[in-house]
């Protein structure tokens, strides 16, 4: 396994459409292993193959927020159902340091193949749903800042917003939205 370089905004590969994966051969499983390693190293929520310069329809997601959790691997993912609405301050490993408010469905159903080529389906909600939408957008050359409502915010501004939210909350524990804002930071 190896950590791959993450492409940054401005690199042409991020704006291209990725191709479906045909046969899951050794090159594909190697790429998946590397993407998982790269996501963990970057402490991100999700990573799409074009972010490491490969135009294949593969995404890896870890929206669990748990230390040491194994990311979910989705090959040729497709959103087959969506419902509700939510908005998060999303960020992106390919656009570090900036965050923006993006509207997404509250829940999505995603159909895909797993790394063994078996059909899988996930009913994703909350941050998991956000991450699925964000990463599948990458496969079509779409970046979160294309969809941001209002302006982009710096990491420092997001930190200050979180502090204000925490102050506003009556309970001593962090409000739910704050946690999600933090978790959605890098995808
Ligand atoms: Zn991204």
Ligand 1 centre from 167 Cα, in Å? 30
Candidates 70, 135, 163, 179; catalytic one? 135
Residue 6 belongs to a domain = no
Residue 40 belongs to a domain = yes
3-state secondary structure of 92: coil
Ligand 1 centre from 83 Cα, in Å? 22
The alpha carbon of 132 is separated from its chain's Cα centroid by a whole number of angstroms, namely 6
Specify the pTM.
0.89
Residue 135 near residue 115 (C-beta atoms within 8 A): no
Domain, as residue range, for 173: 12-183
Residue 2 belongs to a domain = no
* 106 flagged as catalytic: no
Confidence of residue 178 (pLDDT cuts 50, 70, 90): very low
3-state secondary structure of 7: coil
CATH number, residue 16: 3.90.45.10
110 is written with which tokens? 């995603």
Residue 90 near residue 184 (C-beta atoms within 8 A): yes
Residue 39 belongs to a domain = yes
Determine which of 12-26, 81-95, 158-172 has the lowest per-residue pLDDT on average.
158-172
Residue 137 belongs to a domain = yes
Ligand 1 centre from 12 Cα, in Å? 15
3-state secondary structure of 113: strand
pLDDT tens for each residue of 146-171: 999 999 999 999 999 889 988 988 66
Which residues make beta-bridge pairs with 79? Answer: 110
Residue 35 near residue 58 (C-beta atoms within 8 A): yes
Ligand 1 centre from 8 Cα, in Å? 10
Q: What is the end-to-end Cα distance of the chain in Å, rounded?
A: 21
pLDDT given for residue 169 in this prediction: 81
pLDDT tens for each residue of 35-77: 999 999 999 999 999 999 999 999 999 999 888 899 999 999 9
Confidence of residue 184 (pLDDT cuts 50, 70, 90): low
Ligand 1 centre from 168 Cα, in Å? 30
**Domain count along the chain:** 1
Residue 18 belongs to a domain = yes
């Amino acid at each position: 396994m190896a950590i791959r370089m993450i492409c940054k905004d401005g690199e042409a590969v991020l704006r291209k459409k990725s191709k479906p994966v045909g046969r899951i051969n050794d090159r594909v499983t190697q790429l998946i292993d590397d993407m998982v390693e790269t996501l963990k190293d970057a402490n991100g929520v999700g990573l799409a193959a074009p972010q490491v310069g490969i135009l294949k329809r593969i995404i890896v997601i870890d929206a669990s927020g748990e230390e040491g959790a194994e990311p979910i691997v989705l090959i040729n993912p497709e959103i087959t159902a969506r419902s509700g609405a939510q908005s998060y301050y999303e960020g992106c490993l390919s656009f570090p340091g900036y965050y923006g408010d993006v509207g997404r469905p509250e829940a999505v159903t995603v159909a895909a193949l797993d790394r063994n080529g078996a059909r899988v389906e996930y009913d994703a909600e909350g941050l998991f749903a956000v991450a699925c939408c964000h990463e599948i957008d990458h496969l079509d050359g779409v970046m979160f800042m294309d969809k941001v409502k209002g302006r982009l915010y710096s990491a420092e501004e997001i930190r200050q917003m979180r502090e204000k939210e925490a102050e506003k909350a009556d309970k001593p524990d962090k409000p739910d939205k704050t946690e999600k804002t933090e978790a959605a930071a890098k995808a």
